[in-house]
Amino acid sequence: MAPNPIYLGVVGVGGVGTAFLQQLAKLPNAPSLVLLARSSQTLLSPAPSYSPAIPAADWQTASTAPSITKSGALSSSELISYLSSAPGRSVLVDNTSDPKLASAYPEFLKAGISIVTPNKKGFSSDLSLWKDIFASAASGKALVYHESTVMAGLPVLSTLRDLVATGDEVTRIEGVFSGTLSFLFNTFAPVSSSGSPAKWSDVVIKAKELGYTEPDPRDDLNGMDVARKLTILARISGLEIQSPSSFPIESLIPSELASLPATSAGVAEFIARLPEFDGSMDALKEQAEKAGKVVRYVGSIDIATKEVKVGLQQFDNDSAIAGLKGSDNVVSFYTKRYGSNPLIIQGAGAGGDVTAMGVTADLIKVIERL
Amino acid sequence: MAPNPIYLGVVGVGGVGTAFLQQLAKLPNAPSLVLLARSSQTLLSPAPSYSPAIPAADWQTASTAPSITKSGALSSSELISYLSSAPGRSVLVDNTSDPKLASAYPEFLKAGISIVTPNKKGFSSDLSLWKDIFASAASGKALVYHESTVMAGLPVLSTLRDLVATGDEVTRIEGVFSGTLSFLFNTFAPVSSSGSPAKWSDVVIKAKELGYTEPDPRDDLNGMDVARKLTILARISGLEIQSPSSFPIESLIPSELASLPATSAGVAEFIARLPEFDGSMDALKEQAEKAGKVVRYVGSIDIATKEVKVGLQQFDNDSAIAGLKGSDNVVSFYTKRYGSNPLIIQGAGAGGDVTAMGVTADLIKVIERL
């Protein structure tokens, strides 16, 4: 296994990107970082030698070094041209959430550039893009790993792919796939409530203040992020889901507030008017309590009926979903081999470090295979 | 990735071996099965062509076909000689629990033969064998995958290796690692007990009748199987555990009965005298209940203090360990990145189909890398 040199291009240095670069810097036998792109600037190892490499731990200092080529933002075709001309196999790590870059994955793959990414967009948009990505990988003899697109670094997609590849029959997938919505419901409707019950609007405001929600909490409450994850899981399970909007998504944005604009004024009005709907959320909670259950926001896939759903459901107090803590995620895989008790994976499903961990682990696997 | 042909030797056709062969038969692009060994007989594809292959689904019929070479049991060196002379890379799948074959893994690996196995013996015996296995793999440019040695097909070892490889700091590992002991304690000391409490001896006898224990239940109750799994987890975490007997193991065999012989008469006397100790087991259970807890048989590893323990502990009623059902296993990885809430993996940790699934998934990964 004397490895051939592998050339690495990284796009994005936000929370995940920064954590990834820190992990990359400590990797033994790390590939050669030859391209690092932010929105404003691209650092490149000079062609045609693709040397010296950009130091992953110290790229900000390197960006002033004369030995590193600087450029503005590169187009996808410029990225492809640079990486595919490297004197060895190359890998693109996309640490953005950019749909435009994701739509170009097929071109990277056809050019023999492997892809590792936590960016959901390529895998949860139109089915045609999903198919194009995997067909292009095959034709370009390149690899695609995207573990962190669902529940960050938790071994969810690798486990599902192993189940499918070894011939198990996955019958049902169910779980809490949003750290934000996990926190909201674990706080609003805990299994054992001591003290005075929390109001839904107060819990949302608290989560926003703690930075647990997107800047616009409606981006969590609309369920679209969960729907994208379900789309990915369903497709790996063999269901041809056209898009994340081709199945029912229960939005937690009251219909009366659905038309508020996506501006900061719109956010402010949304927050201000949210208490009007505390009564209906309390009713949902109490209805569940009367049945000895708790209400949770979950995604589920029934493989036989091809039914994919995202929304509120009631769960027994002693179920894995009811027992979640903090902002943890959980997924249960029900399969023929595992029988009545599912295979369960649980833990933090968001955050820079654990998302980057999934990216780094994928990169190690790609390097082992190239 | 036009794969080079890969030649596969399989030893063992018990419960796991039979399930593995069924899974292998359905694998697309399966490697060529050229050797299949049982204790009594070895089937071989004729050298030097190593063709025709043995049909995995139908090996019993093939064993009478004149095109397949028959032999008695082969020694390790004969296996190595045959596999390493194949016209391509070769893999040994060891579906036995044979310590002798495991002790020869280094010779296989040095000869360039990769190994996939659920056999714990090679990885949980003397530390020198563990080191020899991985050093030999490196020198022979061969691969070793053994996911199913801990909790069968659940993604436990791969997850731990990913955590370590990406630079996370594992601080503590804790779990229920025996399906048999999980069933015994989930039945003996359930979280919510309705009906009359079960006697420990009755639960053991019931489990034996259901086939949940080894033929000699003392092989489960002595904790050695759990200790072997802990040894593997601790070593992957970086602790140099000399052997599974170099840390404390709390045996559930009463000391008064420890000297009974390992004969069927010994088993019978053990079972007959077990009720004498129901009182002390009840006391343990009640002591836990008074603290609002349940008693469970667990293994734990504290990385900082290098403390490895196997035995009884009390757990909160709402903990993941207390909430286990049936004979399920669970492991919690506490790490620096995952913070206060651990990464949890749970499900069936024993059984032919799910153990074979881990073996088949490992084989797929080895093929992808060779």
Q: Which whole number is the average pLDDT over A37-65? A: 90
Name residue A107's beta-bridge partners: none
Q: Which of A27, A326, A338 sits opposite B347 (nearest CB)?
A: A338
B226 is in an annotated binding site: no
**Residue in chain A lying closest to B2 (CA):** A141
* pLDDT reading at B1 higher than 70: no
Pick the CATH number of A6-153+353-369 from 3.40.190.10, 3.20.20.80, 3.40.50.720, 3.40.50.150: 3.40.50.720
What is the model's pLDDT at position A1?
A: 40
What is the model's pLDDT at position B3?
A: 53
pLDDT in tens, B313-325: 999 988 889 989 8
Residue B183 C-alpha, separation from nearest chain A C-alpha, in angstroms: 13
Residue B12 C-alpha, separation from nearest chain A C-alpha, in angstroms: 19
Q: What span, in angstroms and rounded, lies between the C-alpha atoms of B279 and B296?
A: 17
Q: How many CA atoms lie within 13 A of A29 on its CB side?
A: 12
- Token pair recorded at residue A179: 């750290």
> Which residues of A are part of the catalytic machinery?
229
> Which CATH fold would you assign to the domain B157-348?
Dihydrodipicolinate Reductase; domain 2 (3.30.360)
What is the model's pLDDT at position A287?
A: 94
Q: Which of B134, B337, B364 to mutate to test the interface with A (most CBs of A within 10 A)?
A: B337
What is the model's pLDDT at position A4?
A: 67
- Domain boundary assignment for chain A: 6-153+353-369, 157-348
The alpha carbon dihedral of A276, A277, A280, A283 has a sign of negative
Out of A65-69, A294-298, A364-368, B6-10, pick the least confident: A65-69
Going by C-alpha positions, the residue among A281, A293, A297 that lies closest to residue A177 is A297
Residue positions of A in the annotated binding site? 12-17, 96, 120, 214
Q: DSSP states of A146-167 as a string? A: -GGGTTTTSSSHHHHHHHHHTT
Q: Which whole number is the average pLDDT over B72-90? A: 95
What is the model's pLDDT at position A194?
A: 65
Give the number of other Cβ atoms within 10 Å of residue B39's Cβ.
13
pLDDT in tens, B270-287: 999 999 999 999 999 999
Residue positions of A in the annotated binding site for NADPH? 96, 120
Per DSSP, helices labelled H in B252-291 are 264-273, 278-290
Residue A264 C-alpha, separation from nearest chain B C-alpha, in angstroms: 33
Q: What span, in angstroms and rounded, lies between the C-alpha atoms of B100 and A101?
A: 54
CB-CB neighbors (< 8 A) of A361 in chain B: 162, 165-166
CB-CB neighbors (< 8 A) of B191 in chain A: 318
A354 with B337: Cβ contact below 8 A: yes
- Token pair recorded at residue B346: 């749970």
Name residue B312's beta-bridge partners: B297
- Angle among Cα A47, A51, A54 to the nearest 5 degrees reads 110
pLDDT in tens, B27-79: 998 999 999 999 889 999 999 999 999 999 888 888 788 889 889 999 999 99
- Token pair recorded at residue A24: 């990359």
What is the model's pLDDT at position B59?
A: 87
CA B114, B119, B123, B124: dihedral to nearest 10 degrees?
A: -170
Collapsing DSSP states into helix, strand and coil, what is residue A46?
Answer: coil
pLDDT in tens, A177-235: 999 999 999 999 998 766 678 999 999 999 998 888 888 999 999 999 999 999 999 99
Q: Which of B168, B345, B356 sits opposite A345 (nearest CB)?
A: B345
Q: Which whole number is the average pLDDT over A22-33? A: 94
* pLDDT reading at B4 higher than 80: no
B14 is in an annotated binding site: yes
First to last CA, chain A: 11
Pairing of strands A144-145, B307-316: unpaired
Per DSSP, helices labelled H in chain A are 15-25, 59-62, 76-84, 99-103, 105-110, 121-124, 127-140, 157-165, 179-188, 200-209, 218-221, 224-236, 264-273, 278-290, 352-369
> Catalytic pick from B110, B121, B229, B285?
B229
A345 with B344: Cβ contact below 8 A: yes
Q: Considering chain A, what is the average pLDDT of its residues?
A: 94
Residue A28: burial class (beta carbons within 10 Å; 0-12, 13-18, 19+)? exposed
* pLDDT reading at A35 higher than 90: yes
Give the number of other Cβ atoms within 10 Å of residue A260's Cβ.
16
Residue B10 C-alpha, separation from nearest chain A C-alpha, in angstroms: 17
For this structure, is B141 an active site residue? Answer: no
Residue A207 neighbours by CB under 8 Å, 6+ apart: A180, A183, A184, A187, A213, A217
Q: What percent of chain B has pLDDT over 90?
A: 85
Q: What percent of chain B has pLDDT over 70?
A: 98
Out of A135-144, B167-176, B255-264, pick the least confident: B255-264
